[in-house]
Chain A
C-alpha cells in the first residue's frame, strides 16, 4: 500500500451548512482495487462526504485529488465523467421500463438519429456480463428481484472510464442470498481494479467484504484502520464515541422472562388465520410483556402476517382474538383502537409523510383515532413532539423540520414515536432497524425491552437473526408462508440454529 499512490485523496474537507458544521477537516484516501468502508452513525457525515465528492454540494474547504490531479467536481454528471460513479441507497430506476432502457436512459446509443436498439441490447448484455449477470435485458425492470435491480443500477453507473464506485447502503433491502450475489459482483469489480467505497450499517457485511475502514463521527475524521486489525467492538466504540461496557451491558439484556411468559395474560391469539397466497393457516399466541420474534427469509410471510394482525390486509379465514374477544380487523384504524400498532418495513412508501413536519408526522396516528374534530391543541402537540425528539435523540432536534429533510434513521425514530404516542398494547415492528446505525439500533432495542417490562407485547420482525435471538423470548420461524417451528429462547440457542430452521434443518 505504501508504494502505491492513492487513486483518490480527499484532504481537509470542510462543509458548513447554516448552523451546522457537517464536515470538519476530514481526510479520506482510496486505493484502486480495494473496498473501503465508510463508517459512522446517522449524521456522522458519511452522506455529506459522498455528496461533496460527487458534486452534489460544493465544498467549503479542502482538496480532492483524483490520480494525483486536483479536481473540482461541479455536478454529479461531472463526477461521472471524471470516473466517479455512485449507486444510491434507494434504487433510482424506473420499474416500468426495460433493463436496457434503464441502463441507457439519457445516453441512448443513436444511429441516423434513431435509437440503435440492437447495439444497445448488446452493450447492456456486455455490461451485465461484467457483473456475471445473464438476464433478458429487454424485460421490464420490475420483473426482477431487488438484488438484480441493484446490480442493474451498478451496471448503469459504471462506464468504461469508471475508477471509483460508491455504494451507499446497497444491501439495505436485500436478503442473505441476494447480498451474497451482490458481494460476488463487488469482488469481481475489485479484481478489475476499481476502487470501491462501501457504506453499510451491517457490521457483518463490512467485515466480510471491506479491506479498510474510515470512521467518521459528528463530521470529524476519527481514523482509518485495516479491517482485519480492527475488532468489532473497537469499531463500534469509535463510531459512537462511548466506552463499550455501557453498550455491552445493553446487549446482554435479553428477554429472559419467557418461562414466566406463558403465565401472563394472552393479549392476542390467532387460530388458523389464513390469507390465500400470503399466509397459510397460522396459530399464534402473544402474551403481555413478551417480545415475540418472526424470523424467515424475505417473502416467507413475515410481513404478510404482521399486516393481517394490523388489519392492513383482511384474512380469508381463521379467527383472531384480542384479549380473549374475537375481533374482525377490517382496517388499520380498528387495530389501532384495539391497541395494536404497526411500524412498516417500507419506511418511504408506507411510513413517512414527506411534506409535513416531524411534529405532524408524530401525532398522525393518535390524531387518527381521536378523529378530526378532536384536534390536539398545537401547544400540546409541541410538548409531545419535544418529548419524543429528546427521548429518541432525533436529529435535527427541531420538531418543525419537514420529514423529508431527515435521514433514514431519524425518520424511523419519528415513526416509532408516532406509534409510542398511541400507547399500544402490541407493537408490531417490521424491520425497525433496517438501514440505521448501531447507536440507533441499540436505542430501539432498549426501547423494546422497556416496553416489554411495562407489560406490552412486541412482535419483532427482522432479517438480522442475532438481533432476533438477542431480543426475543419466543421466535417463530417462517418458511413458504407457514410457521415451521416455534422456539423458546432459553438463552442457549444462537442465530445459526435459527438459520438452520429457516433453511429447513439441512444446512
Chain B
C-alpha cells in the first residue's frame, strides 16, 4: 500500500530533478566549499526545511479529519517573538542565554497557539477550518503587535545558526527536520499514537466507545502542528535575520496542505503517510527551484506551479489512472485496482 502511494510522487520528483539537470548539467554536483557541502540538492533540502516541518504537523492534523490554517501565522508569531527577545541583546553576542530564551519562548508561544486551536476544536466543538481561520487572521495581528508593525532586523549573531549554520558539513536546519521527522515517525509508528490518530480520523464516535480519548488526541495533534510551525518560524526568521509580521510564512499553510495531499493522505482523515508528505513538500520546493533555474517569467510562475500540482493530484487519483490506461488498452476490464473492493458484502 505504502509503496504504491509513494510511487507517483517519487516519479514526479524524479522528473522535476531531471528537468533541472537538463537546464543545468551541474545540478546534481555537490561541492565542498569552506568545509560545507554545497549544491542545488542541498539547497532544496535547506530551503524546504520549514515547509517539510509544517507539513509533518499538518499530516497528523489532517489524519484526524481536521485542518490547520493557522500555521503560516504561527510562523510569523514565532519569528516575531524570537526577534523581540534577542533584539534587546544586540552587541551581546557572547552570551547564549538570549538564544535559548528566544527559542523557548517562541516555541512555547507556538505550542500555546496549538493548544488554543485544539481546545476550540476538541472541547468547544468549533469546526477546524473555522477555529484555525481565527488564528490565521489573529496570529498575524499578534505578530505585528510584537514587532510593532515593523520588520525587525536581528543583529544577534548566534541566532543565525538555526537557519544558516552548518553542522558536520550540512545545514543545521536539515538536522532539525530529520529530528522532528524521526520523532514523528517513531511516535506514530512505534507507539499506538498513529493507530489512535487514524481511528479518531476514521470514526471519532467509535474511537470514543473503544476507550480512546478522542478529544486529547485531537488536542495533541494541533499542539504538535503549532510546535512544528513554531520551529519553522525560527528557521525562516533566522535565515533572513529578520522578523516580518506581515509576510513571514505567508501562504505556507496552503503549500503544507498541498504537500500532505500530494503525499497520499486524504483530507477525509484516516490513514496518513508521513514519508509521502515529506516527498510532497520536496516536490513543491523543487518546483520553486526549477521555476527559477529554468528561468520562467515571473508572471507565469504561479500558473506553472498550479499545473504541476494538478498533474500530481491527477496521477494520485486511481480513477484518473484507470481512465488513462483505458485509453491505451481497448479492453473495458478494469485493472488490478478492482481487487480491493470485492469481498462479499452479504
Contact = CB atoms under 8 A, between A and B. Distances in A.
A368 B206 contact: no
B199 A22 contact: no
A41 B192 CA distance: 35
B276 to A, nearest CB: 15
Contact of A22 (B207, B209, B342): B342
A274 to B, nearest CB: 22
Interface stretch (A275-283, A289-297, A401-409): A401-409
Nearest to A333: B211
B345 A408 contact: yes
A45 B340 CA distance: 17
A133 interface: no
Contact of B346 (A57, A335, A405, A437): A437
Given A356-B195, A360-B195, A332 B344 contact: no
Interface in B207-247: 207-213
A355 B65 CA distance: 13
Given A344-B209, A356-B198, A375-B190, A405 B341 contact: yes
Nearest to B202: A353
Contacts of B332: 58
B202 A57 contact: no
Contacts of B145: none
Contact of B343 (A333, A349, A371, A406): A406
Contacts of A376: 192
Contacts of A395: 343-344
B202 A355 contact: yes
Nearest to A367: B192
Contacts of A22: 342, 344
Contacts of A350: 203, 205-206, 209
Nearest to A337: B211
Interface residues on A, range: 35 or more
B191 interface: yes
A331 to B, nearest CB: 8
B346 A332 contact: no
A43 interface: yes
B206 A351 contact: yes
A351 B205 CA distance: 8
B206 A332 contact: no
B271 A407 contact: no
A44 B339 contact: no
Contact of A40 (B205, B271, B338, B346): B346
A206 to B, nearest CB: 15
A169 to B, nearest CB: 9
Contact of A372 (B192, B205, B270, B344): B192
22 contacts: A17-B338, A40-B346, A44-B346, A45-B344, A45-B346, A47-B344, A48-B344, A48-B346, A332-B211, A349-B203, A354-B203, A356-B195, A360-B195, A364-B207, A367-B192, A368-B211, A372-B191, A372-B193, A374-B192, A407-B346, A409-B346, A437-B346
Given A42-B346, A356-B198, A405-B342, 9 more contacts: A22-B344, A45-B344, A57-B342, A350-B206, A351-B209, A353-B270, A364-B199, A406-B343, A406-B345
Interface of A: 17-18, 20, 22, 40-48, 57-58, 310, 312, 331-333, 335-337, 342, 344, 349-356, 360, 363-365, 367-376, 395-396, 401-402, 405-409, 418, 437
